[in-house]
Every structure is written in C-alpha cells, then in structure tokens.
Structure 1
Amino acid sequence: MNPLSILRDTWFFFSRHLGILVPLCLPWIVIETLVQQQINVAAGPQNFAPWGMAAGLVFYPIYTASLILYMIDAGEGVERGVRELWSAALRLWPAFALLSAITSLLIVIGLYLMVLPGIFVMIKLAFAEFLLVQRGRSPIDAMRESFALTTGHFFLLLMTSLAILAPVWIAEGWITEAGKDAPVLSVVLHSLSGFFQLLLTVAAYRIFILLGREAA
C-alpha cells in the first residue's frame, strides 16, 4: 500500500460515482458556503472563525455521513437513493456533530501550538468518522480506536492527505482573492473546493478498508 495507489483508487471511485456524489453532497456544501458567507458579512472577517466553524458543524456531518454511508453501501453492493442516505445521515447527526466538534477543537488547538500538533491530531483521528458510522462507536470510543488503528500508518495517511489538501489550500487562497468583489463567484468556487475536499474522506476510507482486510 502506497500513497500513489491510494490516490489512483480514490480518483477512480470519485470520478466513477460523480453522478451520485454531486446530488448527494454538493447541495449541502453550497448551503454551508452560503451561510458562512453571510456570517462573514454580518460578523466581519475578524469574528468569522468561531461562527464559521459552528455553521460548518451543522452541515458537515450531513454530507460527510452521507458520503460514508454511500461508500459502505457501494462496498456491500447495496443501493439506496439520495433521500434515504440523507435520512440515515440525519439520524447519525447528533453523534457525528459531537465527534466533529471535538475533533475540530483539538485540531485547532494543535494548530495554534506550532501547527505540527494539529496535523498529528488530524491524521490520528482520520478513521474516527468511519468507526462511528460503520461500526456504531460512540464519539469518544471512535477517537480512541482511531488513534490505535492509525499507529504504524501515520506517514501513509499524512502523504495521502497532503497530496489532496495542498492543491486545495492553494486554490482556496486564489478563490478568496478572486471572490472578494464577486459574491456569487465566491460561493461557486468555494463550493467546488469543498466538494473536491471530499477526496480526502474517500482516500482515508480506502486506507481504512484496506487495513481492515489486512487485519482479517
């Protein structure tokens, strides 16, 4: 298992299932982006961070859980429609939102502490969402088990994550500048950026599944 093979498999899955991933996830990402844009206007850039994160915690669990449920279904040969997946994701929302809040807080604290601790926490918690959705773990148990399961695979996850996030971060910088005087364009570009960040979830899930097969 190496980052290149993971990235290849990730892109293959993402492009092959684009027809369902767009209606499944993109509407929620667009709504999230619109809400965050309005918060930025109302609160101002200096006060955006906490309120923007709060808005993200409302919508992120819905589209991410929907994506994870779809990947689980694809692996098991099960077919569910978009509304069924949304319904299942909404039932998971309380636990998923709590997990996302704790994870985000730990990552932010880590980023303030010389950046590297934040990256470490992000990688070590890479499997927590899958453990919560697929195995029904509680948020705390999912975090604890993710820390254990990622042991020995830190650099694989790190290199794969950076290969996906680095272009996205560069694009986000350009999008912020390009969208300053064009709110509609800003929403479109930020939504597309958020959609392609889902590649990270797909890649992490691919690693999670492969490691599970090796353990079996």
Structure 2
Amino acid sequence: MNPLSILRDAAHFFSRNLQFIATLCLPLVAAECLARAIVASLTDSAHSPAYELLVGLFFYPLYSAALILFLDARSQGQRPAIRDLLASTVQLWPAFAVLAGLSTLLIMLGGALFLPLALYLMVKLAFAEYLLVLRGLAPLQAMRESFLLSIGHFWSLLACVLLVIVPLWLLDDWTLQLLGEQPDAIGSLILDIVNGFLQLFSTVVLFRCFMLCNQRPTEDSHSS
C-alpha cells in the first residue's frame, strides 16, 4: 500500500461526495459537539472528560457506521438513500458502541502505560469498525480479526494514520489558540463541529486501506 496514493484517492472521494457526507453525518456531528458543550457546562472539570467520552460513545457509532455503509455502497456503484443508511446504523449501534468503548479503553490504557503502545493499538484496531459493520462480526471478534488483517501492513497503516491525524491535531490546537483563554461559546462550538467533520476523512482513508488489504488475498489466489 502506498500511503500517498491512498490519501490522494481518499481526498478525491471525500471532495466529490462532500455534499452527501455532510448531509448524512454533519447533523450528528453537530449534535455530538453541542451535547459535549452542554455536558461540560453542567459538570465540574474533574468529571467532565468522562461524561464527554460517554457522549462521544453515543454519537460516534451513529455517524461512523453510516459513513462506512455509504463508503461500501459507493464502492459497489450504489447510491443509497440517507434514511436507509440511518436505519441500518440504528441496528448496528449497540454492537458498534461496545466496540468503540472497548477500543477506546484499550487505547487509553496503552497510552497510560506507554505512549507508542497507544499508537500501535490504534493501528492494529483500525479495521475493527469495518469488520463489524460490513462483515457482521461481534466486537471482540472484529478486534481480533483487525489484528490479523493488519499483519504485514503495519507501517503503511501507521503512515496513513499519522498523515491524517497529525494535521488534524495541529489544526485543532491552532483553532484553540485562535479562540484564546476565554473562548466565545458559539465560536468554540462551530470550530468543534468543523474539526469533528474533518475527522471523518480518516474513516475514508482507512476504508481505502481496508479494501486494499481485503483485495490482496483474492488477487494472490487468482495468480497462484
């Protein structure tokens, strides 16, 4: 896998389907950011991160599963309706929420022990969501299969992850500096929504990686 080619293809797809992706995912991303802002204003700073994490675990599976289903449909030349994608997403939500919770806790635990371990786990679990949504695997099985599917692709996946998340982190840090020490509530919310929406690009990138990793065994079997 060539990370630069993957990023180029993902950027092309994201830009061409920007309107549909925004219509599908942006309302849920905005609702998540608004809910986090409300929770932060109603809770003390010590407990706010935990509650905000719970908010994320509620909304994230909804728009992520919807986007993955859309990516899969478009890869097959289909144009699904938004209502159909959301209906399927609701059915997937319980298992996806469990997977997101387990993955988040595992990565956080890894980061607490050794920061590179968190990055390693993030890469090895990169395909778990796609395996759950597209193959119907249970959360733990999807995590295990993601570890297996990523064998031989770690460094390419790592490059893709870093090329996406590092600029997004830098952008998020830059926007926080623009807001200053006492940010405007509305401005802060808008920037959170924009940053949250841009992070969906990583889902497109990793879907492309997932497709390439799944194609290789098929191609090898035909050539042998």
**Band the TM-score falls in, shorter-chain normalisation:** over 0.9
Q: Which consecutive segments of 4 or more residues in structure 1 shift more than 3 A?
A: 177-180
Q: Secondary structure at 1:212's aligned position in 2?
A: helix
**TM-score between both structures, scaled by the size of structure 2:** 0.93
For 1:101-139, what per-residue CA distance to the aligned partner results, in whole angstroms no more than 9, with x for missing partners?
000000111111121111111110000000001111010
- The corresponding residue for 1:163 is 163
Determine if contact 1:98/1:139 at 8 Å carries over to the other structure: yes
Q: 1:213 Cα deviation (Å)?
A: 1.1
- The corresponding residue for 1:2 is 2
The share of aligned pairs that are identical, in percent, is 39
- The corresponding residue for 2:141 is 141
Q: Secondary structure at 1:46's aligned position in 2?
A: coil
* RMSD of aligned alpha carbons: 1.1
Q: 1:170 Cα deviation (Å)?
A: 1.1
Q: 1:175 Cα deviation (Å)?
A: 2.5
For 1:163-196, what per-residue CA distance to the aligned partner results, in whole angstroms no more than 9, with x for missing partners?
1111111121223343442111111111111111
Output the CA distance in 1 between the equivalents of 2:192 and 2:109: 24
- The corresponding residue for 1:201 is 203
Worse overlay, 83-92 or 39-48: 39-48
- The corresponding residue for 1:214 is 216
- The corresponding residue for 2:124 is 124
- Stretches of structure 2 that go unaligned for 5 or more consecutive residues are 219-224
Aligned residues: 216
For 1:7-42, what per-residue CA distance to the aligned partner results, in whole angstroms no more than 9, with x for missing partners?
101100100100100010111011100111111111
Output the CA distance in 1 between the equivalents of 2:9 and 2:46: 40
Q: Secondary structure at 2:133's aligned position in 1?
A: helix
- Within 5 Å, which residues of 2 pair with 1:1-216? 1-179=1-179, 180-216=182-218
For 1:42-97, what per-residue CA distance to the aligned partner results, in whole angstroms no more than 9, with x for missing partners?
12333222111100000000000000000011011222111111111111000000
Determine if contact 1:124/1:146 at 8 Å carries over to the other structure: yes
Higher gyration radius (CA):
2
- The corresponding residue for 2:222 is none
- Stretches of structure 1 that go unaligned for 5 or more consecutive residues are none
For 1:140-172, what per-residue CA distance to the aligned partner results, in whole angstroms no more than 9, with x for missing partners?
110000000111111111111111111111121
